[in-house]
Every structure is written in structure tokens, then in C-alpha cells.
Amino acid sequence: MPAISAPLATLSAALLCALAMTTSTAHAADATSAKTLDQVNVNGAVSRAQPATTTRLPLTLQETPQSVSVIGLQRLEDESLFSIDDVMRNVTGVNVSFYDTQRPLYFARGFQITDFQVDGLPTYSGSTNQEYDTVFYDRIEVIRGANGLLTGAGIPSATVNLLRKRPGKEFDASFAVSAGTWDFRRMQADVNAPLTEDGRWRSRVVAAWQDRDYYYDRYHDNKMSGMAVLEGDLTDSTTLTVGYQRQDNSPVGSTWGTVPFFAADGSLANLSRSTNLAPEWTRWQRETSTAFANLEQRFGEDWLLRVNTAHQGQCAEPARVWHRLSGRRWQRPVSANRRWRDRRHPRQRGCVSVRWFLAVRPPARCGGRRQLAGSAIDLVWLGADLSRRLGDLPQRLWPA
């Protein structure tokens, strides 16, 4: 490497000193012109609505003597929970299993969950009910343990309360498109529109379309859901809500019963995870529609009268293959078992539910008691439930 002459080394040192002085001068100028901005604090939190209807008591989560899970709208959207099955799989202490492709089973504390409510109104808990799309709901509450204090006899498993979306006084609209594995496709829309300038009358319309395959053979499901709600303030203390919702499920390749685990000789059947014993022509088409109305009347600061009513109609038109494998072992070949084609047309002509209650609510953040007729009280709650269900189940069976 050639040596650097003394004059060149002196010049290099001079240039470095000049650059250092220039940088120091620039930094000093920047420091002189710098301005300190005012402090800005940004806080974010997930809104957690208090369960107000599952127990029907004015209790916070901390005051409720049972464990409660609240799945809010934000979580439904963030985690893509599009069905009640998706929600129940994400609830603490709940186990989900299936009879077959269309009949889910939910368990909590060792018992099956059969107590389902919509807006606090007990509803028929059939398989169609439990497959509702979550586009209808603002939040879902699950209270584990017996809830018989205010819901009849109660059951030891859990109570599930589905709270519908309600109209707001400001315009808002959203549209979402989703796609995933097994040809999953989904579109949903949610529009909230006030009908008057002051928002005294308001409306909300939601709709969803979903189409998908599954990991098992020949099964395909298509689902369409929609709801329209109208809400109005009749007076400053009276609110009326009416609405209608409908959901159509059209699956094909539907099964009846599960795939057996064991062969006839007691060994594992070793069937593929994608095994589907149903042919392509089987289906389990179901249509569910509900008309509902809610009336709230407030008397002064504490008294509240609420009346909820709903009329639900269901219709199912399945065509299934009924394998005589329930509780038995897998025989090889399949023809060793007799199969039956099952064609049913069950129609639930009407399921009418009515609930009313009159309650006095204690003042918010008040640790004392209110005087009523000279007596100290915490809460007065009067209510009644009425439910009537009519249906028929014509069917035909013939060998396949």
C-alpha cells in the first residue's frame, strides 16, 4: 500500500475539521429552531357491554353470582365468528359436538345447553335455532350454571341470550367480504338509517350471504340471512320496536348420524377424515322466519314496563339416507348394512312467545335502599312468560 505524503495528510485533516464544524453548526441551528409539541395521549379499550337481560337483574359482571361470558360485536367481527357454532366454540367452559352435519350439541358443566333466548325471550331451541347467523346480533351472553331464579325451572348447564342489533339515531353503513379455505365466500352488509331528522324514528337493515364447502366429501352449504328493524319513540318515555328476520339454509350432501370409529372386529375403522356416508342428492333445507315486537314504557326514574313478543315459523325439507350404524360398528363392505332414504317435511306452523315484566330499578351508583309504601326495597320484579308451539312431521321411508 503506498504511503500518504505529509501535505495530503494535512489537507485531509483540515477537511475533516471543516466537516465536523459544519455538522456542529447545523445541529446547533436545528436545536435552536426545534419546537416541543404538546403531549398527546391516545387510549384504546374494547367496549364490554354489561349483561342486562340474561339474568334480568341490574347487576354488573362482578356482582353476578355466576360466571358470564359476553361476546360483543367487535369480537364477532375481529374473529370472524359468523355462526352460533363459531361463538360457542370460543366460550369458556362450553364443549361443542355434532350429531351430524346439521345438528350441533352444546354442553356446559356436564349437561346439554337447551336454554336459548333472543332479546331475553325464551325461544324454541331446535337445531335450526342454534345455527343462526351472527349478522343479526349485537352481542351474545352466556351465563353458566342454573339460571332458574327468573327463567322458570332452569337447567344446570347454561343460558344463552342472543341480543339483536337495534337502530341508532345516526346514519352508519358497513360492508364486508370474506374468503377462506374450502371455497369459503361471504358477503354481509349492515345499514343504520334514521328516518327523521331528530332520529325519533330509525331503521336498521342487515343481510348476509355465505357459500362454502367442507373438508368432508360431497358436502356443500349455502346460507342467506336478512333482518329489518324499525324503532320509534312514541313519547319521551315510550319506545316501540318491530322487526322481521329470515334465514334460509340449503346444504347438500347432508349426513344423518356420525361416522363410526370401530370396525366389526373391534379394530379401528381407519376411515378418512373426509369420509361422508351421504350421497350427493341428500339435503337438509331449512327456512326460519321470525316477526318480533318490543315495547318499553318508563314511569318516572325507576319503574320500567317491558313487553316482548315474537312469532317464529320454521320449515324443513330434508332428503336423507338413514344408515343403521348408530351405536353399531362399521361393516365391510358398506352394502352389509341396510340403508333407508328418509324424506321429511316438518313444518312448525307457529311458535308464539310472549314475555312481559314490570320492574323498579334502583338509582345508579346508589348504595342505599329506596322507600316504597313505607318499606325499604332493593328491587321489585314481576313477570310472566307464555309460549305455544304447533307443528307437524309428515315423512316417508323407503329402502335405498
26 vs 193, more confident: 193
pLDDT at 148: 67
Other residues' Cβ atoms within 10 Å of the Cβ of residue 150: 16
Omega before 2 within 30 of 0, i.e. cis: no
Instruction: Average the pLDDT over 183-210 and give the result.
Output: 96
Query: Residue 334: what pLDDT?
Result: 40
Three-class SS state of 135: helix
Say yes or no to pLDDT of 113 above 50.
yes
Answer yes or no: is 94 within a domain: yes
Above 70 in pLDDT, residue 121? yes
Q: pLDDT-based confidence at 364, cuts 50/70/90?
A: very low
User: Closest by alpha carbon to 205, among 225, 183, 227?
Assistant: 227
Which of 309, 323, 301 lies closest to 355, judged by CA? Answer: 309
How many CB atoms sit inside 10 A of residue 250's CB?
Answer: 16
**Is 53 a member of any domain?**
no
Backbone torsions φ then ψ of 21, nearest 5 degrees: -65, -40
Kindly state the average pLDDT of the residues 143-163. 81
For residue 326, what are the domain limits? 68-399
Mean pLDDT of 248-271: 83
Count up the domains in the chain and report the number. Answer: 1
Neighbouring C-beta atoms of residue 399, cutoff 10 Å: 7
Considering the domain boundaries, does residue 124 fall inside one? yes
Q: How confident is the model at residue 119 (pLDDT cuts 50, 70, 90)?
A: confident
Determine the average pLDDT of the residues in 330-351: 44
Q: Please report whether residue 51 resides in a domain.
A: no
In a domain? residue 259: yes
Answer whether residue 15 is part of any domain: no
In the predicted structure, residue 216 carries a pLDDT above the cut 50: yes
CATH number, domain with residue 244: 2.40.170.20
Mean pLDDT of 95-112: 87
When pLDDT is averaged across residues 349-358 and rounded to a whole number, the result is: 50
In the predicted model, is pLDDT for residue 271 greater than 60?
yes
- pLDDT bucket at 18, cuts 50 / 70 / 90: low
Q: Is 180 exposed, middle or buried (0-12, 13-18, 19+ CB in 10 A)?
A: exposed
Say how many CA atoms lie within 13 Å of 112 toward its Cβ.
10
Q: Which three cell numbers stand for residue 271?
A: 376411515
DSSP H/E element including 27: helix 6-33
- Band the pLDDT of 329: cuts 50, 70, 90: very low
pLDDT at 352: 53
d(CA 162, CA 279): 35
* Total residue count of the chain as it appears in this document: 400
- pLDDT for 136 beyond 70: yes
Residue 365 reports pLDDT greater than 50: no
Within 165-282, strands assigned E span: 172-180, 184-194, 201-213, 220-235, 238-249
The larger pLDDT score, comparing residue 60 to residue 10, is at: 60
| % of the chain with per-residue pLDDT over 90 | 32
pLDDT of residue 66: 83
CA distance 19 to 13: 10
* Residue-level pLDDT at 318: 75
Q: Which of 117, 71, 67, 114 is nearest to 93 (CA)?
A: 67
Q: Tally DSSP H helices, then E strands, for the chain.
A: 3, 21
Q: Is the pLDDT of residue 360 over 50?
A: no
> For 272-278, what is the mean pLDDT?
85
Stretch (H or E) spanning 26: helix 6-33
**pLDDT at 288 > cutoff 70:** yes
Give the C-alpha separation, 297 to 144, whole Å: 30
In a domain, 234, yes or no: yes
Q: Which pLDDT value is given to residue 43?
A: 76
pLDDT by residue (tens digit) across 36-95? Answer: 888 888 876 655 545 545 666 767 777 778 888 999 999 999 999 999 999 999 999 999
Q: Above 90 in pLDDT, residue 202?
A: yes
326: confidence class by pLDDT, cuts 50, 70, 90:
very low
Of residues 210 and 390, more confidence is placed in 210
Q: Is residue 176 part of a domain?
A: yes
Q: What is the mean pLDDT of the chain?
A: 76
392, containing H or E segment:
strand 380-392
Question: What mean pLDDT is predicted for residues 299-327?
Answer: 73
